[in-house]
Copies of this chain bind each other. A is one copy, B any other.
Amino acid sequence: MLNLFETAHISASKKRILNSALILFVEKGFFSTSIPDLVRHSGVSTGSIYHAFKDKESLATQLMQHLLETIEAEQLDVLGQHTGVKARYFALVRWMLQFAERYPEAEQFILYARHKEFMPGLAPICSSKPFMILRDVIQEGQDEGVLRPMDVMVASSIAYGSVLRLIQLSLDGVLTTPLMSHFDELTEAAWRALAVETSD
């Protein structure tokens, strides 16, 4: 699998620890992953783990922050390559599906983790920048009159809830076909629900 931390500006040990933590936290869960588990998987000793991170909770928090920053950067990159609400929405959904296919562990960690359970200091995921970026595209479409006027939370739930649900089904192994193979069907249906006119 691809390593999300390869290009980050952090020490080699930190990278290995973060990478192992991501894999083990998703596979076994935060609480069922012990420090000895991390030592075995990463090849880094207990002492070095505690040298790099204050404690286990801080490790999880930094992992999440790193993932959210990466995601935000990719989203802004996608937005920079497209103009107009329809193109932007379709491109963002494409990116969401592709990200889930490329980095399934990262996707699972972000979507599934009960963050407040072991990262009480971190803001809830729904308040994070990446989720606001998604919502703002919908708001923008409503302001421009391209999307039907409706509660922006409801519109966002239609626009992205369906996508996240499909991703979840795929991560859970219920959906066995490739995520991207459903891109057209999914986006066209969602667009039909949201857009003012059916023909474009």
Which A residues form the contact surface with B (CB < 8 A)?
Answer: 28-29, 31-32, 112-114, 116-118, 124, 126-127, 148, 150-151, 153-158, 160-166, 168-169, 172-175, 177, 182, 185-186, 189-190, 192-194, 198
- Within 8 Å by CB of A153, from B31, B117, B160, B169, lies B169
User: What B residues does A117 contact at CB under 8 A?
Assistant: 28-29, 31-32
User: What B residues does A172 contact at CB under 8 A?
Assistant: 124, 126
User: What B residues does A162 contact at CB under 8 A?
Assistant: 157-158, 161-162, 165
Q: Are B126 and A169 in contact (CB under 8 A)?
A: yes
6 A-B contacts (beta carbon < 8 Å) = A29-B117, A31-B31, A31-B117, A161-B165, A161-B166, A164-B165
- Within 8 Å by CB of A158, from B124, B151, B189, B198, lies B189
Q: Are A174 and B153 in contact (CB under 8 A)?
A: yes
**Interface contacts beyond A126-B172, A153-B166, A161-B163: sample of 20 additional A-B pairs, CB < 8 Å, sorted by A:** A29-B114, A31-B31, A31-B117, A112-B114, A113-B114, A124-B172, A127-B174, A151-B177, A151-B182, A154-B186, A156-B165, A157-B163, A157-B186, A158-B158, A158-B186, A158-B189, A158-B193, A161-B164, A164-B165, A190-B193
Alpha-carbon gap, A118 to B150, bound state (A): 40
User: What B residues does A154 contact at CB under 8 A?
Assistant: 166, 182, 185-186, 189
Interface centre among A127, A150, A158 (most CB of B within 10 A): A158
User: What B residues does A28 contact at CB under 8 A?
Assistant: 117
- Within 8 Å by CB of A126, from B153, B158, B174, B185, lies B174
Alpha-carbon gap, A124 to B112, bound state (A): 13
Alpha-carbon gap, A10 to B45, bound state (A): 49
- Across the interface, name the chain B residue whose C-beta is closest to A149: B185
- Within 8 Å by CB of A161, from B32, B161, B198, lies B161
User: What B residues does A164 contact at CB under 8 A?
Assistant: 161, 165
- Across the interface, name the chain B residue whose C-beta is closest to A155: B189
